[in-house]
Amino acid sequence: MVPCHLWGTDADLAFLSAKHNKDFYKYGKEEAIAIPYYQLHVTLSGDYAPKKLSLDMMLKNVRHARYEIRTGAAKVLCANKQFKELEELLRDPDPRLRRAALDGINGYRAWFTSPAVGQNALKAGEYTPAMQEAVSKILSDPKEAWYVIDGALQALQHAPIELLKKNIPNIGEPAPEKRQWRYYSFDPVAEKDKRSKMGAAFRGITLPSGMDQWFNPGFKDSGWKSGCTPIGVGEFKSYDYYTYLLANPDFSIKNNSDWGNGEFLLMRSTFEVKDLGYDYYRINILASEGYVIYLDGQQIHAFIYHTETPRYNQIILDDKYTKLLKKGSNTLAVCGNLRYVKDKTTDGYHPAGQIGLRLEGLRKKELGLTR
């Protein structure tokens, strides 16, 4: 049987409408399209949000038929801290308005080379209780438009940690923030693996003696250091062009355990799983450089490049890897490295590296992926 919709839910059909929201004209007459474009500084990748605009102008255009106008108006509402209006939009029956409110909260950039969450995104401390309640409702409604859910998931990236914990279940006990990791840092031992500080990058290397099976569940790691993640050294901050794109280029995530003196880090943790009733599983990882991840002795993911900004990245696991998970004891293991940051005042280099990760479970019903 052919499905009613090849993508999305019934609610997503609203985004195909060429008509304004029914309340559009309550706030004024329709104008030539160039006028709101100019007044709202509509752009797919920019962050500028003008503040000297009337509330009626914003409330009218957030109900516009054109997506770019709705997003531009919502971003101005957020920049002007019209939080009550955004709360109402998040509860509106029209999914286009719910998505617009989320775009405003996210400072959304639709340009494909830019981070989706912009410089003017709402800070975690600015989320109101009503916003948090609305985002949770969106994420738990199986009939919600997928396009609205997409905006809500983006909002979780900069939301209060309590909202994130409520909507993205972590797998295993102890909880990730309390889980102990064993870890060991070292410098390459073989001459062929050594690099200058300018050329340091993630690469395959010869491991120290006795470490060949470090990623297997039965490996003896009692002599390693122990601590909670993130494990790090120095400060991992944005660099390269991300310095100009983010709301807070000096943002960093606090280290909970000291990396040590080596360029490379091996880390492993054993946790208990009681519930395997999820449709999808994903790794949520914070890493400044490349890494390899193992689950119960099997490599499940590798990334050989670097990350320009401190953030957790999500990796959906293939079915062949989720089958490795079992009720009872499981072991995650990660190998990564740091980089050396040049000091602009001394021309010297200092180490900066960070790794933290958790395993998360997702259900189709909670993501609105069932009808």
Do 92 and 39 sit in the same domain of this protein?
yes
Residue 92 has a CB neighbour count (10 Å cut-off) of: 17
Evaluate whether residue 371 is within a structural domain. Answer: no
CATH number of the domain at 86, please: 1.25.10
CATH number of the domain at 203, please: 2.60.120
Evaluate whether residue 357 is within a structural domain. Answer: yes
Do 18 and 139 sit in the same domain of this protein?
yes
Domain extent for 196: 181-362
- Residue owning tokens 């054993």: 270
Q: Are strands 225-227 and 181-186 parallel, antiparallel or unpaired?
A: antiparallel
| pLDDT the model gives residue 177 | 83
Q: In the β-sheet with 298-303, what is the strand arrangement from edge to edge?
A: 225-227, 181-186, 264-273, 328-337, 291-295, 298-303
pLDDT over 60 at 40, yes or no: yes
Evaluate whether residue 204 is within a structural domain. Answer: yes
Do 132 and 187 sit in the same domain of this protein?
no
Question: Around 177, how many Cα atoms within 13 Å sit in the side-chain half-sphere?
Answer: 5
Do 197 and 138 sit in the same domain of this protein?
no
Do 191 and 316 sit in the same domain of this protein?
yes
DSSP-assigned states of every residue in 221-280: -TTSEEEPSPEEES-----GGGGGTSS-TT-----SEE--S-SEEEEEEEEEE-----SE
pLDDT over 60 at 289, yes or no: yes
The Cα 205–Cα 185 span in angstroms is 13
Provide the 3-class DSSP secondary structure of residue 102.
Answer: helix
The Cα 155–Cα 105 span in angstroms is 7
pLDDT over 60 at 3, yes or no: no
Q: Is the peptide bond before 3 cis (omega within 30 degrees of 0)?
A: no
Backbone angles phi, psi at 220, to 5 degrees: -90, 110
Task: Report the domain count for the chain.
Answer: 2
Evaluate whether residue 134 is within a structural domain. Answer: yes
Q: Are strands 257-258 and 231-233 parallel, antiparallel or unpaired?
A: parallel
The mean pLDDT value for 347-351 works out to 85
The Cα 315–Cα 291 span in angstroms is 13
Mean pLDDT of the chain: 88
Do 187 and 305 sit in the same domain of this protein?
yes
> Domain ends where: 139, 167, 195?
167
| pLDDT the model gives residue 88 | 98
Evaluate whether residue 246 is within a structural domain. Answer: yes
Percent of the chain residues topping a pLDDT of 70 = 90
Evaluate whether residue 67 is within a structural domain. Answer: yes
> Domain ends where: 113, 144, 167?
167
Query: Which range has the top average pLDDT, 51-60, 95-104, 269-278?
Result: 95-104
The Cα 60–Cα 74 span in angstroms is 10
> Domain ends where: 167, 190, 210?
167
Backbone angles phi, psi at 136, to 5 degrees: -65, -40
The Cα 231–Cα 125 span in angstroms is 25
Do 43 and 103 sit in the same domain of this protein?
yes
Report CA-CA distances (Å) from 202 to 37, 210, 215, 303. Answer: 45, 21, 17, 9
Evaluate whether residue 5 is within a structural domain. Answer: no
Do 126 and 157 sit in the same domain of this protein?
yes
The mean pLDDT value for 203-228 works out to 95
Question: Pick from 183, 191, 329, 352: which is nearest to 268 by CA?
Answer: 183
Do 227 and 95 sit in the same domain of this protein?
no
The Cα 130–Cα 127 span in angstroms is 8
Do 85 and 132 sit in the same domain of this protein?
yes
Place 295 in a pLDDT band, splitting at 50, 70 and 90: very high
The structure tokens listed for 193 are 């693996």
Evaluate whether residue 172 is within a structural domain. Answer: no
The mean pLDDT value for 111-128 works out to 83
Do 190 and 154 sit in the same domain of this protein?
no
Place 4 in a pLDDT band, splitting at 50, 70 and 90: low
pLDDT over 90 at 306, yes or no: no
The larger pLDDT score, comparing residue 126 to residue 111, is at 126
pLDDT one-digit tens code per residue, 241-273: 555 555 566 778 899 999 999 999 999 999 999
Do 147 and 196 sit in the same domain of this protein?
no
